[in-house]
Structure 1
Amino acid sequence: MRELFSDEAEHGVLGAVLQAGLQRDAGLVEDILGQMTSGDFYRDDNAALFDAMVECNDRSIPIDPVTVGHVRRTLPSGDLVIAYAAELASKVPSAANWKAYAKHVKEWGVIRHIIDIGGQAQAMVQEGAPTDAVIAASQQAMADLRDLDGETKSFKRLDQWMGDAADLVDEKHRGVAPKWPATGLDKLDELVQGVRPKKVTVIAGLPGSGKTTLALQIAQHNAVKERKPWLVFSIEMPGEELGLRAIASLGGVSLQKLDNPSKMGEDDWARMGAAVAQALEAPLFVCDDPVQTPATIRATARQCQREHGLAGIVVDYLTLVRGDRAGRSRSEEVGKISKALLQLAKEMAIPVIELAQLNRESTKRVGKKPQSSDLRDSGEIEADASCILMVHRDMDSEEGQNGLTEILMTKCRHARVGSCIVQQEGQYGRFANFSGSLPSDDEVEAGRGSYAQRYKGAGR
């Protein structure tokens, strides 16, 4: 079977950038970098080297093997950037043919994209999706392909953008537009109006507030119920613990019982088996490697997209991600990481949900409700986010002690800010819709299967 990429063409593009940089031809460097993205490259090392070149250019640093090696020391493969860049610079004697190299790289990228679209369409048909939904999803995916003439246009007239927007409104009216990923919680879905692709949604809260629970529940809802592939980077929590939480959440089995199986009854064992069956073959992937950088996240996400498709990413959590290169301050480093995740969302045309910590200022405020300005480490997190959700549970109140949790949407670029109330069921590691009155312990126990019931038959 023929390989769906060209190492020679990818090397040609990168070598051309290095040659233009060595000749101090800033205009040519801009032209080449402007026609490509790291997502056009098949090899992760090549994509990472391209990103290092872009960073050099953004910082007005001349591009050569030494400077890119200073910006980024190692590649995803572990090889030294400076050695790899020097090798490519020597392989390509001139930048004269860069357009031909770039066109070849982009053509192979489009071919891979088309094959992925065909695979996704086939999967939708096998899952019983309506034919109009399959066609609409495929058309939307095809519309994302860029021109191949080597002169990609990044601008259009306003009336053309208005026409695209009007077409989307019409598709929504006819019910054929692709649906945004949902959260699985009715009131929160009404508030957020869909987790938007190409954008970053921040879920923030104090330690123990339930932000991880909410993010995992969103990914679980989309993967288990909707059968859309999601990828979770669990930097703090091991994969086995996520597995236990999923059993508790889907099956309504107490986490305490799962920790102490001697207390499990026959119905608990049955619910655990049912939970595993519900999630069987569900495309929810977890990477629990505790050492992550923007480059490793991008490489893993691109691998997952190639092998399984990808509809969304969760990063738990942002400040545990290490910078590819240490900044002058932690705030600057986190800001660069935030920018990299936003770029990833745009490149892959998927939503990225990133978790963030809050400082303690909100606890000193009357009402104790957090604000966007309470985000720790960097104001860039707030600036880059399209939507910010604050998980607020006042443990000093009776309502908070009973699991009553307010989700405050303090920023949103596509909907009005506001809040909603959800019920946190900590013993099952999940949130549930709030019915309007605080349930008793007996009522919570009796309704433990209500959430899992939504997933009944999802794998059929």
Structure 2
Amino acid sequence: MSENQERNQDFINEVEVNVLSAMIQSPKACESALTLLKDQDFTVKNNQVIFQTIVELFKNNKGIDVTTISDTLVKKNFLARIGGIDYLSYLIQNYISDANVKEHINILVERTTKRQLGQALKKIEDDLQGDKKITDILIDAEAEIVQVSSERNSEELLPISESIDDVVEKIEQLQKSNQNLTGITSGINNLDNLTSGFQSGDFIILAARPSMGKTALALNFALNAANSLKQKDEAVLIFSLEMPKDQLITRMISCQGNFDAHKLRSKFKFTQDDWRRISNTAEQLKQKTIIIDDSPGLRILELQTKLRKLVREYDIKLVIIDYLQLLTGSTSSESRQQEVSNISRSLKISARELNIPIICLSQLSRLVERREEKRPLMSDLRESGAIEQDADLIMFLYRDDYYKEKNGEDSTKETQENHVAEIIISKHRNGPTGKVETVFIPKWGKFENYQNS
């Protein structure tokens, strides 16, 4: 170790000692440190063990002083390893005040971040020497950097007196506004009446059995949201893990232009008028900023990385993910349920952090099919676990005509009643639950407002 490195290490040791001594002597300093610091912030093993002991005492609601720390260390046979009671006494003697404890905490956090960045850069360098594709290296590199930057949340906690004026101003602006919605429109009036639109920062689940039309409904949400946007840089983002981009665009042309989707996908002979309508619809869609990522097998960390990048480039107003169970976790998990729970929590955090509504499609358990009552329940969410807890809004799509067709009943008559679809809101953190009726037109893949007779 060079002389310069030795001086640097001595400085870090001194900072660690100052923080620990303040934690032992000052409850206020202790709370500040526990909020911001982790084990890895202490590079000296003795100091790391003492910090872990303080954390343990705090969690167990016990007093923090030399006696309780030494007693805990004795029970674990660690006291001698950290230098005995003499080292703890040295920490106490070193304490002067906690006036500079925040600065010392920030030094430790900054040092850890630099170490983590160094490790990330080393991994990137190793990848560059290997056979990995450059596109994969770029994705992984950005993910590594994002992981480091998102490790900390050191936002200062403030009393509500600092925020309450902003909230009152928003309420006042809403009352003065001619707009009925505070969020992004779904395009379905009765749904918007219940939700006031898809709200910024909300994590939203849309779930249904296969072939019920959940992708079609999500595309309707995307199109209706895009049609409502006013500014050129405002955009809707779709992550499609199930369906390639060209199929989604075909569906959008069908829905936007009221074309028979089957004819668009088959070798049907179009008239000049048909081609004119297709061309006009395509031009309409070109005017809207809808971004589609159809990468299959996307990892949650890759999705978050791409999302953050696009948020920097566009004013993203709505994100749709099709669908949750096709995402894979960033790290290995004990079970698939645990992996889905981690993915759900990550999406919830992204919605809050980026202040964007994220609609994530989800599968339902096959148990629905074994019941006489086919309308979904929250317990039907596949690998539900944390999904119920994390979601701000849970919507289920149910169509009675789907089951009539399966049972061989006639549901082909082109009447509104034969194509009623129900959007069942089973959880709404900030508003009422209930059922919304809409009309599904299968050949267009379109959901329209239900007209009460």
Q: TM-score range by the shorter chain?
A: 0.5 to 0.7
CA distance in 2, matches of 1:417, 1:356: 19
Give structure 1 regions of 4+ aligned residues with deviation exceeding 6 angstroms: 16-19, 26-30, 33-36
Q: 1:49–1:219: structure 2 CA closer, same or farther, 3 Å change rule?
A: farther
CA distance in 2, matches of 1:35, 1:352: 31
CA distance in 2, matches of 1:34, 1:415: 43
CA distance in 2, matches of 1:34, 1:365: 57
Structure-1 residue corresponding to 2:313:
307
SS at match of 2:286: coil
Give how far 1:210 is off. Answer: 0.9
Structure-1 residue corresponding to 2:168:
166
| Alignment match of 1:420 (pick from 436, 444, 452) | 436
The answer (yes or no) to whether the contact 1:17–1:32 under 8 Å persists in 2 is no
1:216 aligns with 2:219: yes
> Residue deviations 1:225-266, cap 9 Å, x none?
325311100000000000100110111111111122433223
CA distance in 2, matches of 1:267, 1:32: 68
Give how far 1:329 is off. Answer: 0.4
CA distance in 1, matches of 2:237, 2:157: 29
- Paired letter, 2:177: G
Which structure 2 residues correspond to residues 20-419 of structure 1 after superposition, within 5 A?
20-23=41-44, 24=48, 77-78=139-140, 152-157=155-160, 162-175=164-177, 179-227=182-230, 228-394=234-400, 395-397=402-404, 402-419=418-435
The answer (yes or no) to whether the contact 1:75–1:81 under 8 Å persists in 2 is no
Q: 1:436–1:34: structure 2 CA closer, same or farther, 3 Å change rule?
A: farther
Q: 1:385–1:49: structure 2 CA closer, same or farther, 3 Å change rule?
A: farther
- Paired letter, 1:173: Q
CA distance in 2, matches of 1:80, 1:197: 25
Unmatched tracts of structure 2, length 5 or more? 1-36, 56-100, 122-135, 413-417
- Paired letter, 2:217: L
TM-score relative to the length of structure 2? 0.64
Q: 1:383–1:262: structure 2 CA closer, same or farther, 3 Å change rule?
A: same
CA distance in 2, matches of 1:31, 1:355: 42
> Residue deviations 1:20-71, cap 9 Å, x none?
25333668999669999xxx99xxx96x969xxxxxxxxxxxxxxxxxxxxx
> Residue deviations 1:158-179, cap 9 Å, x none?
x555544322211101118994
Give how far 1:292 is off. Answer: 0.9
The answer (yes or no) to whether the contact 2:205–2:359 under 8 Å persists in 1 is yes
Q: Identity over aligned residues, as a percent?
A: 27
> Residue deviations 1:352-403, cap 9 Å, x none?
1000001123333343211111100132111100001100012233696632
Give how far 1:194 is off. Answer: 1.2
CA distance in 1, matches of 2:287, 2:156: 41
SS at match of 2:403: coil
CA distance in 2, matches of 1:32, 1:281: 47
> Residue deviations 1:407-456, cap 9 Å, x none?
1000001111001111111111221112246xxxxxxxxxxxxxxxxxxx
The answer (yes or no) to whether the contact 2:185–2:228 under 8 Å persists in 1 is no
CA distance in 2, matches of 1:433, 1:170: 30
CA distance in 2, matches of 1:311, 1:203: 18
The answer (yes or no) to whether the contact 1:49–1:75 under 8 Å persists in 2 is no
> Once superposed, what is the RMSD of the aligned Cα atoms?
3.9
The answer (yes or no) to whether the contact 2:41–2:109 under 8 Å persists in 1 is no
Q: 1:81–1:365: structure 2 CA closer, same or farther, 3 Å change rule?
A: closer
CA distance in 1, matches of 2:212, 2:143: 41
- Paired letter, 2:198: V
The answer (yes or no) to whether the contact 2:255–2:446 under 8 Å persists in 1 is yes
The answer (yes or no) to whether the contact 1:182–1:195 under 8 Å persists in 2 is yes
TM-score relative to the length of structure 1? 0.64
- Paired letter, 1:435: Q
CA distance in 2, matches of 1:184, 1:333: 33
The answer (yes or no) to whether the contact 1:255–1:429 under 8 Å persists in 2 is yes
CA distance in 2, matches of 1:436, 1:79: 54
> Residue deviations 1:63-102, cap 9 Å, x none?
xxxxxxxxxxx975446999x99xx9xxxxxxxxxxxxx9
CA distance in 2, matches of 1:275, 1:232: 20
- Paired letter, 1:396: Y
SS at match of 1:424: strand
Instruction: Name the larger-Rg structure.
Output: 2
Unmatched tracts of structure 1, length 5 or more? 1-15, 51-73, 89-101, 106-149, 438-460
| Alignment match of 2:447 (pick from 428, 431, 443) | 431
CA distance in 2, matches of 1:351, 1:269: 36
